[in-house]
Structure 1
């Protein structure tokens, strides 16, 4: 896999099934809302070998009618929602700070968890998102410094390993002041 630093970060490799799923979801969402991909898929994108069942998307809070158009288009494109509500009932979930899950029709995994920003950190990820060219297709991810600090905050072994992986991969290109500021806001220490 080739990774070229810069803005955008360029990744040239054969796409996995998970990458293909992410690109399908991105194609749908970006027609209706700004988005950012956060959490575990970001490390997988850069080559960390780890499993995940879902890909976390934070989207801007959009009006209900626009959200419903996105839901209708998702269903027309062969997706289904794993939540018990139909499209008209789904809007309240992200408004109430819950995620909705969407997968290809008839499949449970992988799925996309879609949320509106619920506090400072998801808003910051959305506002400061960074572009990645994945085999010629553009996607947006959370700033690496925020990813590292947030993974440390979550604190599981897998999250710590994700943080360490990203730190090692990007240590020569990180904004140290930004990383320290995010860590301070999350009340965590960066141990590497």
Structure 2
């Protein structure tokens, strides 16, 4: 675990890139070109931080975008050989506008894929506005603040989510902000679960 460190709002990951990292980095580059604010959240953050588990998707939140921006994004994605495994990329705007996630993957690949969603609530907004940096080798991508990721995983409550929360908390306990963690646990109504986590 010595290759993973959280310091000054930066998660440094010193290891070879895996398929999920390459997918996240490539998509991040495209979003940056189009000028779309985004942040990686959920299971991928735990995997990035060294948790050994499989996942079929990489969750990414983006700021709300208008139709013209969605069309520009679609053009860029198609030019970089991405497609929509669940629906054509041409329906990207209407899907996001409807609150539905959009799957994006390299052409002819179904898994792993990106699951793209627009910011919908205060927790999504906080992940986006308070994003920290994940430095993977020489590349960086934005990820959700770990305190919120942990509290949200406790809120979701499935076994893999609890295990993700335990992994992140155990690994970064020394460098996490207890005050922020407690505040998110309170906002998400998981204070009892958070207390159990701290005493485990």
TM tier, shorter chain? over 0.9
Residues 108-159 of structure 1 show CA distances to partners (whole Å, capped at 9, x for unaligned) of: 0010011111111111100000011111101010000000000000000100
Q: 1:86 to 1:140 in 2, by over 3 A?
A: closer
Structure 2, unaligned stretches of length 5 or more?
none
Question: Which of 141, 144, 161 is 1:142 aligned to?
Answer: 144
Q: Give the Cα separation in 2 of the matches to 1:20 and 1:76.
A: 17
Equivalent residue runs for 1:74-113 within 5 Å: 74-87=77-90, 89-113=91-115
Aligned to 2:24: 22
Which structure has the highest helix share of the two?
2
Structure 1, unaligned stretches of length 5 or more?
none
Aligned to 2:57: 54
Two-structure CA RMSD over aligned residues (Å) = 1.2
Q: TM-score, normalised by structure 2?
A: 0.91
Equivalent residue runs for 1:1-192 within 5 Å: 2-7=3-8, 8-32=10-34, 33-87=36-90, 89-189=91-191, 190=194, 191-192=196-197
Cα shift at 1:98? 1.2
Which deviates the most, 178-187 or 34-43?
Answer: 178-187
Q: Give the Cα separation in 2 of the matches to 1:14 and 1:82.
A: 27
Q: Give the Cα separation in 2 of the matches to 1:151 and 1:131.
A: 20
SS at match of 2:96: helix
Which deviates the most, 1-10 or 166-175?
Answer: 1-10
Q: Give the Cα separation in 2 of the matches to 1:151 and 1:162.
A: 7
Contact 1:101–1:111 (8 Å) recurs in 2: yes
Residues 73-102 of structure 1 show CA distances to partners (whole Å, capped at 9, x for unaligned) of: 101101001233441x32021122111000
Q: 1:137 to 1:86 in 2, by over 3 A?
A: closer
* Paired positions, count: 191
Q: Give the Cα separation in 2 of the matches to 1:182 and 1:93.
A: 29
Cα shift at 1:177? 1.2
SS at match of 1:9: strand
Cα shift at 1:170? 0.8
Q: 1:4 to 1:82 in 2, by over 3 A?
A: same
Q: Give the Cα separation in 1 of the matches to 2:132 and 2:89.
A: 32
